[in-house]
Structures are given as C-alpha cells and as structure tokens.
Structure 1
Amino acid sequence: MRMVFRWYGEGNDPVPLRHIKQIPGVEGIVWALHDVPAGEVWPLDRIREVKKQADEHGFHIEVVESVNVHEDIKQGLPTRNRYIDNYKQTIRNLSQVGVKVICYNFMPVFDWVRTDLFKELEDGSTALFYEKAKVADMDPKELVAKIAGNPDMTMPGWEPERLKHLSALFDAYKDITEEKLWDNLRYFLEQIVPVAEEHDIRMAIHPDDPPWPIFGLPRIVTGADNLRRLLKLVDSPYNGLTLCSGSLGANPANDIPAMVREFGDRIAFAHIRNIRVYDNGDFIETSHREQDGTVNMTDIVKAYHDIGFSGYVRPDHGRHIFDEQCRPGYGLYDRALGIMYLWGIWDSLAKPRKGDRHAAH
C-alpha cells in the first residue's frame, strides 16, 4: 500500500507539510482546491502551485479529494452538460501534474453528516459523532449552522456559499428518487470515464456517509450490492472506488474485508479508519486501534495485504488529542498514530514466518 495524508493547503490547514514529512512511510498528500466552487474548472496555475509546494517536501500529489460534482449533474438538469464539460477540463488539467486518482462522491446536498464535531470520549479526547435520533428530528438548517458556522475553517462539502440556498436545494431533490439518481450517475460516468481513461486518471467514488438516506434525500452508494451496480454502470478500470471503512462501517451489516477481496482490482483509493457503532445506531469515530471500535481493522488490512494491494491508502479521520487545535477530524497527532498502527499490521503480515526462507535474516 502507498500511504498518503490529506492536507487542506497552505493558509487553510494548521498542519504544515514539514510535520507530515516526519510521519514514517507517507509519500504523498491528498489535496484539493477547496475554494473553487463545484462545477468550475480548476485553474492550471493553481494546480501547479500545489505541486510546487508538495515538491519542496518530496511529496507527490497523485490523489485528489475531491473534485466535487455540481448539484445540477446529480439532479439531471439540462445545465449539467456545461458542468460536465468543466469537469472534463479539470481532469485534463490535473493530468498535467501527474494526478492518478480523483476521489468524488454523488451524495445530494450534504457530503457527510455528523451531529457533534467534538464529542468527548472516555479518555478525554474528542471526535466526530453521529446521533441518529437527533438527525431524524433535526431541521437541516440547524445542522448547517453547527457544521458550516465557522468561516475561518470551511468544512469540505459544507461550503457556506452553497448551503445558504439550502431550501432551494431540498426543493430541487423532492422528485429525485434513488433510481433517478442512479440514472444521473450513469450519465455522468458515461461522459467522464472516457476522458479519465484517456488521461490515465482513475475515478474513485466515495461511499455515502453515513450509508443510509438522511432528511429524505436518497443515498445510493451504501453497501456491496450498490458497489456492484456502480461498477457495472461503466465497466472500466477507470470507474473505480474509494473504499472507506469508516463510512461503510457505520452499518454493521457491511462486510468490509469481503468487499476488499471482491472489488480489490477496482479500489483506487482506500480510507482505513475505525468507528464505534452503538446499538441505537449512533456512532463515534475512535482511534484506529481495533479494540477501540467496531470495525475489524486487522482483517481489513489483511484483506488488502492478501490481494497484493498497491494502491493509495490514508488513515482518514482522527480524534482530537493532546489539546491540538485543528480542523475537526483532521489533526496531525491521531492520524499519525493511525498510520503507524496500519503500518504495524501491514509489516507484521509481511514479516517472514519461522521456517520461511530468509527468516534467520
């Protein structure tokens, strides 16, 4: 596996590249131009600026997360072709700096949902938390105020400029069924994948987070059956997956090691993290250590090792520990600990067993 680390850019991320450089085994940053509105072309000069910053610390920028899909595309509006053309040009621009994977999602309105950004755990650390009953009773505007209320640290997928039109967004989706959303995703992929293939960039869809409908909005990337359907929409290695153990793991019925083994050749990017799921459907993000949550971390990493996975991996979210002041879920310390935990499992699997050739060395 090739370890990478999500970074929000100079002036937008309190974690500097020089600190990421000190985490063993990290070879690249996962990045995006977060200030470019969804649907607009990413300027080549801005892309090259990020490459220059990464080059100064010896990192590649081969993984982008995310090139967001405009809502008009998800809704299947006549205006979608303009935004799809812009997406194609962004793919062409990214290819000029060596990008190999574009992570994206197809979730209506909200890219992800949590009800508390700093829920305290037993050890005094805090983490992202989802309270299922609260979401069922909550006005979406209340959630927007909680998550998008800090203009100094915009959360991806919760951009204030877009969400100020929340009522109109919900109205636009009132007639969008799951099947209609599938049709619109198919149309998008049929247009985009040939361009991605031409430029040797794999499209890698991220599962819905959480993997069930919220606020009456459809969700379609939620488990193994839907992943099979997604991959058949355009049967190409450039139509791939970002397999996220945290998103999928919120539903205990999802067998993530089995997904790794089944879809391995189509997994372009892996998010490996742990969560603790409660009996009432609530969940909280924990350390990566298997015993601290309900996701079978050891079996997941073993599945990747067994299939010879050589794609990109990141630890995804982390707790907020050691009084670090950081973007919710994206501090330095716990993600660094997570990386070392993942490497520990991986290295133990790669270590020769007693009696193996070279074991004595």
Structure 2
Amino acid sequence: MLESWRWYGPFDKIKLAEIAQTGASGIVTALHEIPYGEVWPVETIRARQAEIAGNGLGLHWAVVESLPVHENIKRGEGDLTALFANYRQSLANLAACGIRTVCYNFMPLLDWTRTRLDAPVSRGGTCLRFEAHEMAAFEVHMLKREGAEADYSPEVLEKARNWHDASDENARQTLLASIMAGLPGAYDRYDVEGLRQALEHYKDIGRAELQANYARFLAEVVPAAEELGMRLCVHPDDPPRDILGLPRIVSSEEDVAWILAQQQARANGLTLCSGSLGANPANDVPAIAERFADRIHFAHLRNVRKDPDGSFEEAAHLEGDTDMVALVAALIREENRRREEGRLDWSIPFRPDHGHELLSDSGRGTHPGYPLIGRMRGLAELRGIVRALTHERIHFA
C-alpha cells in the first residue's frame, strides 16, 4: 500500500520537508487556487508536480483530492455543457502529467461537517467531534430551518434548546465557524444568513433529484476517464446522513452499490473512507471494503467512536468502532489479487485521515483535522498493521 499524505500546497502550514520525515512518499493535493468549474491547465499541474518532486525528498503527486464538482452540476442547474467539458479537459490534462487517481465528492454545498474542532481527548490533545445536540441547536435555533425538528429526537432537541439558551454570541459564532471549517477547497465561509440563502438553491432537490444529477455527471465524465486510464473515486458523505435539509446519497453500502452500477467501468470507483462510512451505525466498513474491493482506488484510514444519539468523535486510528486490522487486511487481499492479475496499478494509495492534535500541533494553525504529529502517529500505527499483515509468514485466503 502506498503511504500518502494530504497537503494543501502553498496554503499548508506543514512543509514538504516535514512530510518527508513522516515516511510518506505519495502527496495527496489539489490546485485549490483554481475556482470550481475552471480547467486545470497542464502548466499549472506540472508546476505543482515540480514543487513536490523537485526537492530531492522522494515525494511525488500521487492522488488529486479533489477535482471539485461545481454546485450547478449537483443542482442540475442551467446549461452544464461547458462545466462537463472543463471537467473532462482537466482529467485529460492530469493524465498527460501522469496523475491518474482523482478523489472527489458529491456532497451538496458543504464538505465534512463537525460542531467542535477541539474536543478534549482523555490522555491529552484534541479531536474533531460532531455533537448531535449542537447541530440541532444550530439548525433549529440559529438557522431556523423549517422542518429541522423532525430530524432529531426529543432528547436531542431538549439538549439543543438548553445549549442555545445558555450560549452567548461568541459560543454561537464558534459553532458556526466549526460547521464551516470543512470546506478545504473553496475557502468560502457562510454566515447564518448567507447559508440560509445558499440552502434556498436546494429547496426543490431531494434524494431522487440529486441522484439523477449525479448519474448524469457520471455518464458525462466516466467514459472519458476510462479512455484516459484515469481512476475516479467518490468520497462518502461526512457525516453519512442528511444534514441541513440537504440529501446525502453516498452514505451507505446500498448507496455505493447504486453509484458503481451507474457506470460499470473501472474508472468509476470509490474512496474507501473508514471514518465517514464508520460514522453510520448500519455500515460494516470491512465488509463494504470486501464487497467493493475491485473498485477501491484510494483509502482514507481513520476511526470514529459513536454515541447512541448520533454524535461521534474521531478516535485514535486503532481505537474506534471500526476493526482497522480487518479493514487493512481486506485492502491487502485486493492488492494481492490485482498483482496476480498482472496489473501495474495494483497498489492502493492510502493516507492517515485526520488526526488528534498532539504535543507541538497545538497552536500551529494547521487545517482542522490535519495536524502533523497526530497524523504521523496514525501513519505509524497503520504502517505497523500493513507490515505485520504482509510479513512473509502471513498468507491470505
């Protein structure tokens, strides 16, 4: 398995020389400075490649995360001809530069969502947390979204009301900022009124409409990706549930099966994110990996610890609800199958996804969820699993 590391390019507080010291060699990044829907030029891609590889550190650009899908495509709004053409051209330009794995998501409006960016961890450090009653307080009392109460239990709604009544303006703004933090590419942040207006664009879009728009996107781009030898891999919803009244359609095993059935080509694949899928109590993540192994082109490995009310927090990589050893074993079995098949692209890149802020991470101002020490700990733990499972005395059925 190819050890990789998420890097935000010039925006990242963590430098390439530091990443090299973690032992990872594959860089996972994007051209975040290019607005959504515009073509990624070859010269800009090559310049970023040179920045990564030209320093003698043994690094290379392994995975694009992500080539964003424009909101108009998700909404099915207007003449999308140019947007689809631009996406295909960006894929062609990446292929011309030798970059063939592209992670993307189809989450409406927001990316990953948390309510706390610095929840305390028992032995020191902090983690990202999704607190159900804080999300309910935001939706019901701050955003005042019509129908939001129906998405939460009476117990969560009571806690939400108590939280809101006891909160001051600073606490509410901190909650808003936390919810907005999961927008790594766009860097646009909504205030409450701005979010309310943005949600209006989705008021007539339910699950069926979003699925239809997604199927159209796949039909427009997957054949081109297959011809180019590209691997598209959708990232699951995070959290894996409807949120802010927006439908989420990449949240379960059934959702993944539907997506991969839309285009049978190998280019239509999955980013196996154990944290996103693991936050849904109905998901057996190792079983999902086994079922869709031949279409997994990239893996985000992290763990979560769930609460009965729908809350969850990011646990240490080996300490959450997902059996990480069983999951990694499933991925290694698939790598072995591909190698026996004679494929040159048998290796599955993975990265330690998110991480606790530990030790000198505190106060450094890295992107939420992407500290140096916490992720390096996760990578070391995952490396140990991989090394043990690939030892010459271990044989896979």
Structure 1 position 174, deviation (Å) = 0.8
Residue aligning to 2:16:
17
The amino acid across from 1:76 in the alignment is G
The amino acid across from 1:302 in the alignment is A
**Structure 1, 36-45 or 314-323: larger mean CA deviation:** 36-45
Structure 1 position 86, deviation (Å) = 1.3
**Aligned match for 1:318, one of 355, 361, 368:** 355
For the residue of structure 2 that corresponds to 1:276, the secondary structure is strand
Structure 1 position 78, deviation (Å) = 2.1
1:194 aligns with 2:223: yes
1:258 aligns with 2:298: no
Contact 1:110/1:158, CA 8 A, preserved across alignment: no
What does 1:1-361 correspond to in 2, within 5 Å? 1-10=1-10, 12-24=11-23, 26-56=24-54, 57-139=57-139, 145-147=176-178, 155-156=183-184, 159-160=187-188, 165-289=194-318, 292-308=319-335, 310-324=347-361, 325=364, 326-353=366-393
Gaps of 5+ in 1: 357-361
Contact 1:127/1:328, CA 8 A, preserved across alignment: no
Structure 1 position 230, deviation (Å) = 0.3
The amino acid across from 1:106 in the alignment is F
The amino acid across from 1:313 in the alignment is F
Structure 2 distance, partners of 1:109, 1:207, is 14
Contact 1:240/1:266, CA 8 A, preserved across alignment: yes
The amino acid across from 2:46 in the alignment is R
Structure 2 distance, partners of 1:66, 1:33, is 8
Structure 2 distance, partners of 1:144, 1:32, is 27
Structure 1 distance, partners of 2:179, 2:322, is 28
Contact 2:180/2:190, CA 8 A, preserved across alignment: no
The amino acid across from 1:343 in the alignment is R
Structure 1 position 280, deviation (Å) = 2.1
TM-score, scaled relative to structure 1: 0.91
Structure 1 position 149, deviation (Å) = 7.5
For the residue of structure 2 that corresponds to 1:37, the secondary structure is coil
Contact 1:202/1:240, CA 8 A, preserved across alignment: yes
Sequence identity (%):
41
Contact 1:136/1:215, CA 8 A, preserved across alignment: no
Contact 2:115/2:175, CA 8 A, preserved across alignment: no
TM-score, scaled relative to structure 2: 0.83
RMSD: 2.1
The amino acid across from 2:62 in the alignment is E
Question: Structure 1's 125 and 220: CA in aligned 2 closer, same or farther, altered over 3 A?
Answer: same
The amino acid across from 1:87 in the alignment is Y
Structure 2 distance, partners of 1:85, 1:100, is 18
Structure 1 position 45, deviation (Å) = 2.3
Structure 1 distance, partners of 2:293, 2:230, is 17
Structure 1 position 137, deviation (Å) = 2.8
The amino acid across from 2:77 in the alignment is L
Structure 2 distance, partners of 1:143, 1:65, is 27
Structure 2 distance, partners of 1:323, 1:143, is 23
Contact 1:148/1:159, CA 8 A, preserved across alignment: no
Structure 1 position 257, deviation (Å) = 0.7
Residue aligning to 1:359:
none
Question: Going by fraction, where is helix more abundant, 1 or 2?
Answer: 2
Structure 1 position 222, deviation (Å) = 0.6
Contact 1:112/1:157, CA 8 A, preserved across alignment: no
Structure 2 distance, partners of 1:283, 1:327, is 20
The amino acid across from 2:53 in the alignment is D
Describe the superposition over 1:307-350 as per-residue Cα deviations: whole angstroms up to 9, x where unpaired.
33621111110111003112211111111111111111111112
Structure 2 distance, partners of 1:341, 1:252, is 24
Structure 1 position 138, deviation (Å) = 0.9
Question: Structure 1's 53 and 17: CA in aligned 2 closer, same or farther, altered over 3 A?
Answer: same
Structure 1 position 132, deviation (Å) = 1.3
Structure 1 position 34, deviation (Å) = 1.2
**Structure 1, 136-145 or 51-60: larger mean CA deviation:** 136-145
Structure 1 distance, partners of 2:190, 2:264, is 33
The amino acid across from 1:134 in the alignment is E
Question: Structure 1's 149 and 262: CA in aligned 2 closer, same or farther, altered over 3 A?
Answer: closer
The amino acid across from 2:21 in the alignment is Q
Gaps of 5+ in 2: 144-172, 337-346
Structure 1 position 129, deviation (Å) = 0.7
